[in-house]
Structure 1
């Protein structure tokens, strides 16, 4: 099973932000450039190489946000990024 970070990008009012760029900024191992755009409902899902602590960023027209998340071994972590 793959470790995964999934979640949603919202604005300050809690509305989903479609088309925001979500990227892994740092992790427990060197990372390739991993980024994607949120779906129409503001959601995203990123596979990560292993369990550990990751920094995730989101950038959209309304601004940007960053958070740190701990991904358990062979599991997933859910986050909300507010921009």
Structure 2
């Protein structure tokens, strides 16, 4: 592991989304097709193999969100389901 992306998935009202599916969609190197579920408080963390730009996606409650993250750099991200 070289870096970590951590964050929270929020609904349109700004509340945490427990059980949302979060995955890395793209990165500077090939990535395994693995997803995780957010905790009861909507938080998650993903370890990444090297520095670079990653696309993180979240799906839950019939909505989805994507964000591009630079590692190192972003200590914490928010994904807002719309």
Q: In 1, distance between residues paired with 2:43 and 2:6?
A: 7
1:64 aligns with 2:67: no
TM-score normalised by structure 1 residue count: 0.90
Q: In 1, distance between residues paired with 2:64 and 2:74?
A: 23
Structure 2, unpaired ranges of 5+:
none
1:35 is displaced (CA, Å) by 1.1
Q: In 1, distance between residues paired with 2:25 and 2:60?
A: 16
Alpha-carbon displacement from aligned partner over 1:2-46 (angstroms, at most 9, x marks no partner): 300000000111100000000000000011112100000000000
Which residue matches 1:16? Answer: 16
Runs of 4+ in 1 over 6 A off after TM superposition: none
Q: In 2, distance between residues paired with 1:71 and 1:30?
A: 16
Equivalences for residues 18-33 of structure 1 within 5 A: 18-33=18-33
TM-score normalised by structure 2 residue count: 0.92
Which residue matches 2:3? Answer: 3
**CA RMSD of superposed structures (Å):** 1.5
Structure 1, unpaired ranges of 5+:
none
Aligned length: 81
Q: In 1, distance between residues paired with 2:70 and 2:48?
A: 11
